[in-house]
Structure 1
Amino acid sequence: MNKLITMTLALLLGAFMQAQNQRFIYEYKYIIDSTAKDKIETEIMMLDVAPKGSKFYSKDYFESDSTMRAIIEKQSKTGDLNFTGIKFKGKIRYSIEKMYPEYAVNFFTTLSAEEYLVQESRKQDWKILSEKEKIGEFNTQKAVCDFAGRKWTAWFTTDLPIQDGPYKFHGLPGLIVKLEDSTHSHIFEIKGSKKLPNGYEWTSTKEKHRYNPLITLNETKYKKAFKDYRNDPMKSERQMLAQGTIIEMRDDSGKLIDPVKARKEQEERMKAKIKNENNMLELDILK
């Protein structure tokens, strides 16, 4: 009997170690505008899991951000900053880190030119059900919870006994393979995995070099900042101009654009975009 227990623990430890130092690739399908349910967006998201913690982020945006940083670093040496023709890929601009073993959650996001760190205090109160399902190569079990204004269903696998998953979700006795809300407008599903690069070292996103100070807020204060941004998306830019910052805008050919006209057009685009973003993942932030 003791030998059997020892073998079982060894198998579990082996599965756990396989889950560590892994990059899990999720397909995220979502509908951001509730009035256009036929318009489904898709983004490839990464969940990097290491012994110290995990990071969840958009593949395309991470690659674009890395490219932009390399260009800025190179051009800053000459003093000639020119971003003409450079465009970011990826629509998901946030990233999330979870620190093990306490699973403290930090949410990093931007509103206009300002970058925020929101310290998450809410927990998911999971109810594990008996229903099981095979999803891809994984044997999974069903769990449900209410979180951020939505009802969620998760399918987790104890084959990988790590209590993590996409976005801020965690706390089940296995990795979340699939996650969707009751309206089927936000769906995450694992599509693959691979080992993290040799020498990968988990460090907090707080340590990343940035050009503007990181603004740290709790959920209540961030909710207010978020509402202020939706009401006036150009506020931070006006503040930068008032402080003497010179902002030049150019078209794809490199020709200077009239700044007043450019800012007016930008504000109109941002307000139209914000108006259509009425079905975001965390619905309760709009209330």
Structure 2
Amino acid sequence: MKKTAFLFFLMSGILFYAQNQRFTYEYKYVIDSTAKDKVETEMMVLDIAPKGSKFYSKDYFESDSLMRDTFKRQAKGGNTDINLSGIKFKGKIRYSVEKNYPDYAVNFFTTLASDEYMVQEGRTQNWKILPEKEKVGDFMSQKATCDFAGRKWTAWFTTELPIQDGPYKFHGLPGLIVKLEDTSRTHTFELKGIKKLPDSYEWKSVKDKERYNPLITVNETKYKKAYKDYRNDPMKSERQLMAQGAIIEIRDNSGKVVDPEKSRRDQEKKMKDNVKRQNNILEFDLLE
């Protein structure tokens, strides 16, 4: 095949597969390195459209959408006492990743306490493509490796899906990443399903959604400092709100108001214990 014909074929394939496709990945991870037998599993979604891609937790997205719809419906009805008690929140992965085409600019959206961040990714993945091939699911795939965010990663990509994208922030290989894992095998993504999205699907950035507090835009260096500050003092934002006069009322299962000071102490201990357990996060260099 001539080079020009091959490029036309490749671009045609990219355009075909970029028309509103949803790729579902199974993400298995260990959050606490001292308890490697406790493997968490979450289904993650990579939505791909001509404008770009969006990677997020399926369960958390559905719970968040339900909460927003319920809030809007009750507020529209004039209800000032919003009741969200009937909503059962699912999904533990609260972040999302967006890549804007064609330059693959990566933005990472996450929350620390009550603050929501958009982290502009400036790092690159310098892939080394290896000759080994392996079948992953229905696709013949090829091996590639790179160092990223404090971990060594192995990816399996397939040119049968000519999209230079993949789970999380990973991209840049000559085909979709269908499997990805770090050398410790405590973070693994594997493609489990493909679905064509309706033509009416509209790619919208998380930065444009309605929110009550402004989105904080930072680079990786500033986010790393914010993340360290949060780990050292996870209740800082709540204390600042209370210092500004905010009244935080918490009730127990019977509806009785809980003593705010006791509640704060209990919540602080719970959050600190939780942060301490999160010693095997995906971007391991954030802990350095």
> Is the TM-score greater than 0.5?
yes
List aligned pairs for 1:21-170, cutoff 5 A.
21-77=20-76, 78-84=79-85, 86-170=87-171
**8 Å contact 2:20–2:199 — kept in the other structure?**
no
Cα shift at 1:68: 1.1
Cα shift at 1:82: 3.0
Cα shift at 1:56: 0.2
CA change 1:194–1:257 in 2 (3 A) is same
Percent identity over the alignment is 70
Separation of aligned partners in 2, 1:111 and 1:159: 39
Matched length? 286
Separation of aligned partners in 1, 2:215 and 2:60: 19
Deviations 1:217-261 (A, max 9, x none): 111111110011011111101111111222121233433222221
Cα shift at 1:19: 4.5
Cα shift at 1:263: 1.5
- What secondary structure does 2:188 align onto? strand
Unaligned segments of structure 1, at least 5 residues: none
Separation of aligned partners in 2, 1:15 and 1:216: 31
CA change 1:95–1:11 in 2 (3 A) is closer
**8 Å contact 1:19–1:160 — kept in the other structure?**
no
Separation of aligned partners in 1, 2:97 and 2:86: 29
- What secondary structure does 2:221 align onto? helix
Separation of aligned partners in 2, 1:85 and 1:270: 24
Unaligned segments of structure 2, at least 5 residues: none
**8 Å contact 1:15–1:159 — kept in the other structure?**
no
List aligned pairs for 1:234-245, cutoff 5 A.
234-245=235-246
**Residue 176 (1) aligns with residue 177 (2):** yes
Letter in 2 for 1:29: K
Separation of aligned partners in 2, 1:268 and 1:100: 43
CA change 1:194–1:19 in 2 (3 A) is same
Letter in 2 for 1:62: F
**8 Å contact 1:127–1:144 — kept in the other structure?**
yes
Deviations 1:177-232 (A, max 9, x none): 00000000000000001011331111221101111110111111111100110111
**8 Å contact 1:16–1:160 — kept in the other structure?**
no
227-236 or 249-258: bigger deviation? 249-258
Letter in 1 for 2:66: T
137-146 or 257-266: bigger deviation? 257-266
CA change 1:7–1:33 in 2 (3 A) is closer
- What secondary structure does 2:44 align onto? strand
Letter in 2 for 1:205: V
Give the TM-score, by structure 1 length: 0.95
Cα shift at 1:79: 1.4
**8 Å contact 2:161–2:176 — kept in the other structure?**
yes
Match of 2:261 in 1: 260
Separation of aligned partners in 1, 2:6 and 2:143: 27
